[in-house]
Structure 1
Amino acid sequence: MTFSLVREKMNANESGLPSPSTAAGWDPFHQPLASVQPWHFRLLAAVMLVVTALSLAENLAVILVTSRFKQLRQPINYMIVNLSVADFLVSLSGGTISFLANLRGYFYMGHWACVLEGFAVTFFGIVALWSLALLAMERYFVVCRPPGSARLGGKHAVLGIAFVWGFSFIWTIPPTMGWSSYTVSRIGTTCEPNWYSRAYTDHTYIITFLTTCFIVPLLVILISYGKLMRKLRKVSDTQGHLGATRKPETQVTRMVVVMILAFLVCWMPYATLSILVTVCPSVQLDPWLAAIPSFFSKTATVYNPIIYVFMNKQFRRCLIQMFNCSSTEMAESQMDPTLDRVMLTQDKRGSEMSTMAAHATVSSRKVGDERRNCYSSAQLAASENKICPM
């Protein structure tokens, strides 16, 4: 189906816009929504400018530092970089267009730009969501995998990334081909899937889309982290509540809680609103309030690099070295080539686990403490807290 048919479908579905404005003949592609004050648009533009700038800078830093330091280019880090690429593209496409549209107060770029922006933001956003889900699965397998099982290698990481992009494309391309549509939001400065359509075929798409692209990845995250925390508690209890194991468990618990809360805080309001207007298309919502969950979900592109990468000491050291303009060769030569090695062993009954840590030292003291091995940012709490070997 061509874009002309998509445009006709968008016009036919403009009943999803606020009913008072629609009755007054509001055209979101030619004029602002009269019920929204101009300063509201300027405020949203300022917010999107800050969010977009931070997201682009943070995710670009992740991509650059990972490509510069060999120690960070590990298979388990591929999904971290994939997440940063997706977040970068969300901000580059959706954040930039949303900022420009809010400056004018309406989507002055037209129908085609609306379809393009709606598709790009939805596509890259789902890539990011599923990247978080696969990242949770990776951490579960790394920490909780049975002794002697196969490690996650480059092939598995590449297959996971291919699945994420292919799966996301499958579920975001249908609205451009006639199954539902991408249309302007209620405030008229962003584009999204047409949650407000009352057509049966559009309802089937929205329900399927929410199930496969939000509910399923959320369940994957909760189940993976739940099993991970149960395994860590078992390890700690086996060790007799020793401080050496309680401290890593506390740190990992804190990290996991932050990850889950950030995911829910960013995406749950938008998903809840989408479900609400899908189930009750006739519900009357203030356009300004209805726009907040959509804009708030875009802030996830700022939180993700902080939570998954910048809270890792090894990555921070590599980042500092990069911005200190030190050469890669010099930085690598001054890094500690040793790593903390940890083994999780089972007793004869196979029901308990113990943690064994072996530490290595180096002779250089002045530079060794400041510039250690930048091994794997994706290990996060796992490698830094000495939970399990990678």
Structure 2
Amino acid sequence: MRANRAMELPEDFWIPISLDTDNITSFSPFLVPQDHLGGTGIFYGLAGFMFFLFVAGTSINVLTIACTVQYKKLRSHLNYILVNLAVANLLVSSVGSFTAFCSFFSRYFIFGPLACKIEGFLATLGGMVSLWSLAVIAFERWLVICKPLGNFAFKPDHAIACCVFTWVFALIASVPPLVGWSRYIPEGLQCSCGPDWYTTDNKFNNESYVLFLFCFCFAVPFATIVFCYAQLLITLKMAAKAQADSVSTQKAEREVTRMVVVMVLGFLVCWMPYASFALWTVNNRGQPFDLRLATIPSCLSKASTVYNPVIYVLLNKQFRSCMMKMLGMGGGDEEESSSQSVTEVSKVGPA
């Protein structure tokens, strides 16, 4: 009977093989609450978490964009990339987190199959832009501070080109499930949508798509981030060693070292579980797993919409000062951001 069921599985969703039933639609995540997958408390708890991500992620990213529009001094080439990151985060929080909140609260994906595809596509698009924006930020800091190209100047035109690159590559990564290479279906507790990590149907070639995402949308950006920040730390340590008596230089090195550690750890916390889970399912087809645990990677990836601006924007003293001023909380002209201080430090370091 299970073999016959497998042939009748719909293209809009997937259910565990352990749910042995002749009426598949009775478990449809678009029609009925998914109480067979988890307790009501789990659904409501995740709904609360998604609501927090929606409110916090939307607010802080809108504020980032508004501050950049209002204050001319924030319109530097690096901040162009930060705004690009904020736009991507806003897309995920306003669409992905909000949709997940409504669905977790209802305990099933209430918006239907078409909305699932749209939500999965937009959330994946925003996530890919975010990932590549983080890599571009690391690359830009490596170019400016470590000077591997000598006196090459990273100009606004270069920053805009990098932003365009993130969206083009994100489209290359997120469009395929809409045209037959994999598909967007409800994931985890069936209340948010993403690429199909679960099935082995040759019709969709899911395995090759998962490997593509892992290699070019996780491994490559992560390797870029690690390489660039490792080179940055080496340059700073050399500069600090050359100016051992300079208190400001030593302080800048410590600040940037902490920032780099937080950036890399934040990236891993938000994206490593998702990438690892997808890779595990590809290499362990048929192995049972708890869909409650499978929901965690998706939730953590959406949490990047909050941690990204906290690390890259709120820890930037210039951005933080403008935000406080915009909100009427004071905040004058504070000292320049740590990244700008690091640039000054690197100028006196070894070439």
**Normalised by the size of structure 2, how large is the TM-score?**
0.89
Alignment correspondent of 1:159: 161
* Cα gap change, 1:216 to 1:9, in 2 (>3 Å): farther
Q: Are 2:247 and 1:243 aligned?
A: yes
Unaligned runs of 5+ in 1: 1-7, 327-369
Q: Secondary structure at the match of 2:333?
A: coil
Q: Secondary structure at the match of 2:185?
A: strand
User: Pick from 263, 272, 277: which aligns with 2:276?
Assistant: 272
Alignment correspondent of 1:110: 112
Once the two structures are superposed, the pairs formed by residues 62-211 of structure 1 within 5 Å of their partners are 62-145=64-147, 149-200=151-202, 201-211=205-215
Alignment correspondent of 1:363: none
CA distance in 2 between counterparts of 1:37 and 1:318 reads 44
Q: Secondary structure at the match of 1:192?
A: strand
Corresponding letter in the other structure for 2:109: F
* Cα gap change, 1:215 to 1:23, in 2 (>3 Å): farther
CA deviation string 1:52-81 (max 9, x = no partner): 100011111111111111000112211000
* Cα gap change, 1:12 to 1:309, in 2 (>3 Å): closer
CA distance in 1 between counterparts of 2:169 and 2:42 reads 36
CA distance in 1 between counterparts of 2:150 and 2:207 reads 47
User: Pick from 46, 56, 59: which aligns with 1:57?
Assistant: 59
Once the two structures are superposed, the pairs formed by residues 214-293 of structure 1 within 5 Å of their partners are 214-240=218-244, 242-293=246-297
CA deviation string 1:167-215 (max 9, x = no partner): 1101110110011101111311111100012134221111112111111
Alignment correspondent of 2:10: 11
Once the two structures are superposed, the pairs formed by residues 338-377 of structure 1 within 5 Å of their partners are 371-372=332-333
CA distance in 1 between counterparts of 2:97 and 2:39 reads 21
Alignment correspondent of 2:33: 32
CA distance in 1 between counterparts of 2:162 and 2:37 reads 46
Q: Secondary structure at the match of 1:82?
A: helix
Corresponding letter in the other structure for 1:259: M
Alignment correspondent of 2:4: none
CA distance in 2 between counterparts of 1:222 and 1:63 reads 27
> Root-mean-square deviation (CA), in Å?
2.2
* Count of residues in correspondence between the two structures: 334
Alignment correspondent of 1:365: none
* Cα gap change, 1:112 to 1:10, in 2 (>3 Å): farther
Alignment correspondent of 1:297: 301
CA distance in 2 between counterparts of 1:299 and 1:288 reads 17
**Structure 1 segments of 4+ aligned residues over 6 angstroms from their partners:** none
Alignment correspondent of 1:318: 322
Q: Are 2:328 and 1:382 aligned?
A: no
TM-fit CA distance, 1:243? 3.1
1:10–1:182 CA contact under 8 A, matched in 2: no
Corresponding letter in the other structure for 2:308: N
Corresponding letter in the other structure for 1:306: V
**Normalised by the size of structure 1, how large is the TM-score?**
0.81
2:60–2:306 CA contact under 8 A, matched in 1: yes
TM-fit CA distance, 1:372? 2.2
CA distance in 2 between counterparts of 1:174 and 1:374 reads 46
TM-fit CA distance, 1:382? 2.4
Q: Are 2:312 and 1:308 aligned?
A: yes
Corresponding letter in the other structure for 1:60: V
1:122–1:172 CA contact under 8 A, matched in 2: yes
2:244–2:250 CA contact under 8 A, matched in 1: no
Q: Secondary structure at the match of 2:152?
A: coil
Unaligned runs of 5+ in 2: 1-6
CA deviation string 1:2-29 (max 9, x = no partner): xxxxxx9982475x53222364732111
Instruction: Report % sequence identity.
Output: 36
CA distance in 1 between counterparts of 2:198 and 2:214 reads 14
Q: Secondary structure at the match of 2:108?
A: coil
Q: Secondary structure at the match of 1:281?
A: coil
CA distance in 1 between counterparts of 2:170 and 2:290 reads 31
CA distance in 1 between counterparts of 2:261 and 2:68 reads 25
Corresponding letter in the other structure for 2:333: R
* Cα gap change, 1:110 to 1:55, in 2 (>3 Å): same
Corresponding letter in the other structure for 2:297: P
TM-fit CA distance, 1:148? 5.5
